[in-house]
Structure formats: C-alpha cells, structure tokens
A and B are shown apart, each in its own frame.
Chain A
Amino acid sequence: MSVLATIAQATETGALTAAELKNNAAASGAGLAYGLAAIGPGIGIGYLVGQSVQAMARQPEAAGTVRTTMFLGIAFTEALALIGFVVFILLKFA
C-alpha cells in the first residue's frame, strides 16, 4: 500500500490530525527533494571524473592541470547537492 493511501486511510479513521498530516507531507516532500537533489550531482561527478581519468591517461604530462580542474568541478557540482540539502533542512527543521 502506498504512503499516500496509508495516510488517507489514517485520516479517514481519525488516526491523524490535520497538523500531523501536514507534518507528514512536509517530511515526505523534504526527503524527496533531498534525494532528487543528490541524483544530479552524482551523475555529474561520475561523468566529470570519468572524463578526467581519460584525459590523464591520454596526456599524463597534463595530469596536474586536469586534477586541478577536476577538483574544482567536483566542488562546484557538489554545491547543487548542498543546495538541495539546505532546502531539506529548511523545510524539515526551520
């Protein structure tokens, strides 16, 4: 049974108040947002590092430059996940 169906059933039987229902929906939304926000950067980092390793294999003498750019790229990509995380904590705890 889906989460929504469970919540709907609990509401009908009076097991959940409106405030609890709202809290549950907010928690589900926040968790979903955080999970979705982590997928994109994961794909991005995988692609970025894969291409960097390929570049280092093709041109070992440029490895220092490639690693510098790669590290900054990873950090920038990770910023997307951090933004998702901040949205999550603001929805959940603020």
Chain B
Amino acid sequence: MDSTLIARDDGPAVEMHIALDLLRRALWVAPVLIVLFGAIWGLPGAASTAYAIVLVVANFLLAAALLSWTARISLSLMMATALFGYLVRLAIIFAAVWIVRDAAWVEIVPLGIAIVVTHLGLLFWEMRYVSATLAFPGLKPATKGS
C-alpha cells in the first residue's frame, strides 16, 4: 500500500487540547452573553443564547474529536474527515436550529448573533494564547486570565 495512505501522526491530540481550552473559556463567556442578551431580548433571548453557546462548543468538540481520532489512523482519513466532517457538522447545526425554530423559548435573532459572536470570540481569544505559545515557546502566557 502506498505510504501516503498509511502515514499517521501518533503525537498528542492537540485538537482536543484546544477544544477543551475553548470549552473552559466558553464557561467564562457564557454567563456574560446570557445576561447581556437576556437583558435585551428577555428570557427567550437568554435561553437562545445558552443554546447557541452549547451548539458552538459541541461543534468544536466534535471537530476536534474527529480530527484527533482519524489522525491516529491515517492522515488521508483525517483529510477526508475534515472535509466531510465540515458538511456533517453544518447539517447538524442546521438540524439543531430547525428543530427548535418554533419553540416558545427561542428567539431567532439572539440565537444567530450568539452563534457568530461566540464562535469568533472564542477563536480569537484562543488564537492569542496559541500564537504567543508558538512564537515564544519558553515564554508561555500566564494561565491566569489567559
């Protein structure tokens, strides 16, 4: 069999490490967003924001778990999983929103805004930490407040 098909990476699961880091940061961000959107859109706004944050974090965790798992099997499989996983995860998010769209506790506008804000906000926050770690491996940013 061609070596490119069986090449794999047995190193640590860095994706899961990042995803768990994102989850930890989301636990800090969630109360702020829920209170803020709850103040603007009321109880449905708060519930929708919480639902959006859960969706975003679950999306990160699923992506990380799939990539970490397949990287240990084959890099080619990881590549295929990255592409098809993208489609599958989009479909899951679509289905998750479609199911609750008419529920009494759902407000579509804060749900949509919270999905984008949480996703991008968490990523920029994590990127700040990761880029500093990669640029200055000996000078990792302090854990406190990172």
CB within 8 Å of B: which residues of A?
Answer: 38, 41-42, 45-46, 49-50, 53, 56-57, 60, 63-65, 67-69, 71-72, 74-76, 78-79, 81-83, 85-86, 89-90, 93-94
Contact = CB atoms under 8 A, between A and B. Distances in A.
List the 5 closest A-B pairs by CB distance, nearest first: A86-B112, A49-B82, A71-B15, A94-B108, A63-B9
A72 B18 contact: yes
Given A68-B18, A82-B119, A75 B112 contact: no
B27 interface: no
B64 to A, nearest CB: 7
B75 A57 contact: yes
Contacts, number: 102
B115 A42 contact: no
A26 B7 CA distance: 48
A54 to B, nearest CB: 10
B132 to A, nearest CB: 12
A90 B63 CA distance: 25
B9 A67 contact: yes
Contacts of A90: 108-109, 112
A7 B108 CA distance: 28
A64 B116 contact: no
Contact of B134 (A49, A68, A81, A89): A68
A58 B109 CA distance: 46
Given A45-B83, A63-B11, A75 B115 contact: no
Contacts of B75: 53, 56-57
Interface in B1-15: 4, 7, 9, 11-12, 14-15
B86 A56 contact: no
Given A42-B83, A57-B4, A71 B14 contact: yes
A89 B15 contact: no
B112 A71 contact: no
Most chain B Cβ neighbours within 10 Å, of A45, A85, A86: A86
A50 B12 CA distance: 20
